[in-house]
Amino acid sequence: MYKLDKIIRLRRGVRYKKQVIYGCIYWCLFPFVIYAQSPSLKQAGSTNKKNSIYLKLSTNLKDIQSLKKIEVPTVYQDIKKAEKAVKSFIQKLHQQAYLNAQLDSLSNTPDTLFAYISVGTKFIWASLKKGNLPEEIIHNVGFKPKYYNKKPFLYKSISKLQTKVLSYSENHGYPFAQIRLDSLTFVKQEVYAKWNYDQGPQVLFDTLHIVGDLQVKPRFMMKYLRLREGDLFSQSKVQSAHRILKQLPYLKVRKKAVVDFRAKKASVNLFLQKRKANQINLLVGLLPNEQNPGTIEWMGEFDLLLQNMFRSGKSLSAKWLRPESQSQLINLDYTHPLLFGSALDLQLKFNLLKEDTSFVNIDLGGVLYYNLKTGDKIKATVNSKSSRVLNSLIYQNATRLPDTLDISFIAYGLGYIHSNLNDALYPSKGDFLSLSGEIGQKNIVQNPELPESLYKNIPLSTTKLVYEAKWKHYSKTSSKSVLYWQLSTGGVINDQLLVNELFRVGGINSLRGHNQNIFFASHYVIANLEYRFLFDDYSYLFVFYDQSWLQQKTINTFTEDTPLGFGLGLNFPTKAGIFNIVYALGKAQEQPINFNRSKIHFGFISRF
């Protein structure tokens, strides 16, 4: 029986870089090897065989199955690379618990290198005890001594467990913890050891410092990022803060946070730059007049967005849209983050849609967002929706129930939002995912202009389910180009669906090449594909293709269509703001591709 003088030690430093100090275990420092006569041999594809060196390895290992996972080329450009492969093979044997593996002899001819390797016996664990490792850590990292009994002595599994222990420690107030194998002893081919854990000093979060010209209350930012003064230090919270900050449109992260440790305190320094995120958008579209062929009508959109109000992350948005003549849409939203100092954000919403002279929809709602540590959000919603027919006189002589009626709907729902975009305003990499669903009771309100007999066979109170999902993806294909795609879907499930409760799609934000909100859909799937050629971070030329599947199912109708749109556009900045222009063509079941029906959208975004 013999002992090794040194031990494996893994330590986290001030910058939290894991350093593995290999001591006593000489096999970890040995070069690794490859088995040239096993079924996993590979041949170098581009090697010139005329001037190449062949490698042939021989071992005394009876259990050849242990070597089948080691892949080794048989042909090399020169003898030095072949010798390096031999060393690599020996290293891999060490990793597989053959600690005594070594090179016996090496010989060569002008075109072949012969290596003879003594593999030795595989080392196994006899006992790995918990030592002074705290029970709390043992439970959270899943360490169980019985899992190591009579198992191969693999350093990879030990290193993985050490990493888990240190990760747990640095996220619970002990960033300078150390863990090592103690009393490491070998008896023939059996290994005995126990854990030696040093948690180091407990560290608490101190003041949060904002370096840069961003105007925001430090106390708000501390709560929003969960870096509250006096809480136990957590490296994962510092790392999550970087991702969360990138999703805020009113700031730009100049570089990753830096932590200063002094007197058992951790001060986090954030390098943040103010960004012009408040905006006024104006969009004007010139469209062929569907009612009067040969003439042009206009559509308009106006958006106002105020971000980081009162230096505390509050936001207010207002939207007005005129998709076509006699139709209007108004949206108002207010978001209040960290409600009563909690991890909840409150959003209040008001939506109004007037569809020419047919009906008007009003939607009042509230959303509670719960901010997860990762930056993702879980939301709970409550909505009160109503729809009223504007001109009910047209139904006086109806012989069947029309598919536009007065209704009310109160719904409760849940949702989830994930985002890892590299920039909130001008993303070029990352994903955005939004899922939502709501369920509630829909009530049909009887219209006095309609005969009561039409309502007899229709249930006036039914359950309605609404769901929506959206996935955006950005990837940089080169330094000057970005590929963007979006997949969105939604559905309304109810036995008595009406036109005035369907989704509205079409236009610049969903299906380009078609009039705004032109399609009514009970179910929809829309795929948007866009290739952008970048001039700089804010200006680009793009081409796009939009494809959809739409289904309209109401009490009186059932139709399906696959509208598409394609075209190109330009987005570029000016001193006054960002200007964009889009030219689009569309095709639908009753709309062939026609250049006379092309759409031109002009947009202007002023940020301040």
- Does 21 map to a domain? no
Whether 442 and 472 map to the same domain: the answer is yes
Element (H, E) at 333: strand 328-336
Q: Shortest CA distance to 175 belongs to which of 205, 207, 141, 130?
A: 205
Phi, psi of 94 (to 5 degrees): -60, -40
Last residue of some domain: 303, 321, 356?
A: 356
554 CB-side CA count, 13 A: 16
Q: What is the mean pLDDT of the chain?
A: 86
Q: Any residues with CB less than 8 A from the CB of 149 and at least 6 apart, and which?
A: 125, 126, 127
Whether 555 and 502 map to the same domain: the answer is yes
538 CB-side CA count, 13 A: 12
Q: Are 363 and 384 in contact (CB under 8 A)?
A: yes
- Between CA 160 and CA 166, with CA 164 as vertex, the angle to 5 degrees is 115
Q: Identify the residue whose tokens are 């002899």.
A: 105
Whether 98 and 145 map to the same domain: the answer is no
- Does 113 map to a domain? yes
Whether 61 and 179 map to the same domain: the answer is no
The total of structural domains in the chain comes to: 5
- Does 241 map to a domain? yes
Looking up residue 158, the CATH number of its domain turns out to be 3.10.20
Q: How far apart are CA 491 and CA 70, in angstroms?
A: 52
Whether 268 and 246 map to the same domain: the answer is yes
Whether 540 and 591 map to the same domain: the answer is yes
Whether 350 and 363 map to the same domain: the answer is no
- Does 31 map to a domain? no
Whether 371 and 501 map to the same domain: the answer is yes
- Does 12 map to a domain? no
The listed range with the strongest mean pLDDT (18-32, 352-366, 391-405, 461-475) is: 461-475
- Does 18 map to a domain? no
pLDDT at res. 51? 60
Whether 346 and 378 map to the same domain: the answer is no
Whether 191 and 223 map to the same domain: the answer is no
Looking up residue 260, the CATH number of its domain turns out to be 3.10.20.310
Whether 251 and 112 map to the same domain: the answer is no
In this structure, what token pair is assigned to residue 464? Answer: 């309605």
Q: What share of the chain is helix, strand, coil (3-state, %, to 5)?
A: 15, 50, 35
Last residue of some domain: 198, 231, 257?
A: 198
Asked if pLDDT for residue 342 goes beyond 80, the answer is yes
Q: How confident is the model at residue 457 (pLDDT cuts 50, 70, 90)?
A: confident
Q: Identify the residue whose tokens are 């690379």.
A: 81
Could you list the residue range(s) of the whole structural domain that residue 292 is in? Answer: 276-356
- Does 247 map to a domain? yes
- Does 162 map to a domain? yes
Per-residue pLDDT, averaged over 61-69, amounts to 62
Question: Would you say the pTM of this structure is higher than 0.85?
Answer: no
Last residue of some domain: 233, 250, 274?
A: 274
In this predicted structure, which of 49-58, 415-424, 521-530, 545-554 has the lowest mean pLDDT?
A: 49-58
Q: How far apart are CA 578 and CA 280, in angstroms?
A: 10
Angle of helix 235-246 relative to helix 218-225, nearest 10 degrees, comes to: 110
Whether 441 and 324 map to the same domain: the answer is no
